[in-house]
Amino acid sequence: RAIFDKLGGKGKLSEKDIDEALRTIRLALLEADVSLQVVKDFIAKIREKALTAQVMESLTPGQQIVKIVNEELISLLGPEHQKLQASSHPPSVVMLVGLQGAGKTTSTAKLALHLRRAGQTSLLVAADTKRPAAIDQLEILGKQLNLPVYLERNEANPVAICRRGVQAAVERGITWVLLDTAGRLHIDEDLMQELKDIKQETKPSEVLLVADAMTGQDAVKAAREFHSAINLTGLVLTKMDGDARGGAALSVRAVTGVPIKFIGVGEKPEALESFYGDRMASRILGMGDVLTLIEKAEQSFEQDKIKKLEDKFRADSFDLEDLVEQLRSVKKMGPLSQVMEMVPGFGKIS
């Protein structure tokens, strides 16, 4: 933001001004844990576009540079929002893979909730037989959120569990099957073979890697290795609320070419957002994210209550109770700092 404010105050830009700004952008990206190669390519593209006569002689060169950076960020993050691919013969199977501690089990439940909001039904399959309590965790989440869970406590073979889980979904007429597979602390041959066997058996329409955005370059390394072994179709980046700079998002997308489909922005079950490259670029540049703000508001505020409040405002009868009700609804949208970051210009205050 400081860079763009500084550039905005200049009537004309020299090549030195642009190089100075790009040096600061490079440092900001490296501090946000974006991979070095991605940063180099990114900066080279911006420099090439920024040194055109159109930008140098423009009335608002600072704004032109912001526009170029924004466009390059969007192209890096993927301009189109990628939806989940459904199978032509339901149920559609989604296989969630990843290392231990990335938030796979929680993300499985969050994804089921996300699908339910869209009017879809899903069955959670507890196929993590390696981690003690993984099955219990999924069962508890299922009960809390009123979601069906398929589990077999006495079966050690995850391939068999997944096969029978899909069969159970067919019998119940459920549209999506979400497989919570086992993770390890590191990538090994046994893990990859197990995942290949599950994939072979269940023919998933989506293989999603759940990666922890806070681990930065480790998330990129994991994504590269999983992708080369089992061919990922998408990514779920968790703990993005802890790293709003989106360093991992930039690197993972650029290095693997696999689209980011969802981001986890908190611990609550509702804290899973569809990923939009243009909105993330806008947030990274501190320009806010009005569309996500509107979507969150629509989920948190009930339409009939909004109408009643509007009538109260018009009749001049809005009281303290109504204010408390409003604040409760705002609280449902997540931490106030996150909400502030979505309002253009308010990022500095947050």
Q: 94 CB contacts (<8 Å, ≥6 apart)? A: 84, 111, 176, 177, 178, 179, 204, 205, 206, 207, 208
> Does residue 185 surpass a pLDDT of 80?
no
* Average pLDDT of the residues of the chain: 82
> Does residue 181 surpass a pLDDT of 70?
yes
Strand ranges inside the chain, DSSP E: 92-97, 122-127, 149-150, 176-181, 206-212, 234-238, 260-264, 272-274
Residue 246: per-residue pLDDT:
63
Average pLDDT of the residues in 171-190: 87
Residue in this structure with the two tokens 């459904």, named with its chain if needed: 86
Tokens of 8: 């905005």
Phi, psi for residue 145 in degrees, rounded to 5:
-100, 5
Return the bridge partners of 181, or none: 127
Average pLDDT of the residues in 82-110: 88
Whether the model pTM is above 0.85: no
pLDDT in tens, 231-278: 999 999 888 776 545 677 778 888 888 888 998 888 888 888 888 888
> Does residue 304 surpass a pLDDT of 60?
yes
Q: CA-to-CA distance for 194 and 292, rounded, in angstroms?
A: 38
Quote the distance between the C-alpha of residue 70 and its chain's center. 19
Three-state SS letters, 77-133? HCCCCCCCCCCCCCCEEEEEECCCCCCHHHHHHHHHHHHHHCCCCEEEEEECCCCCC
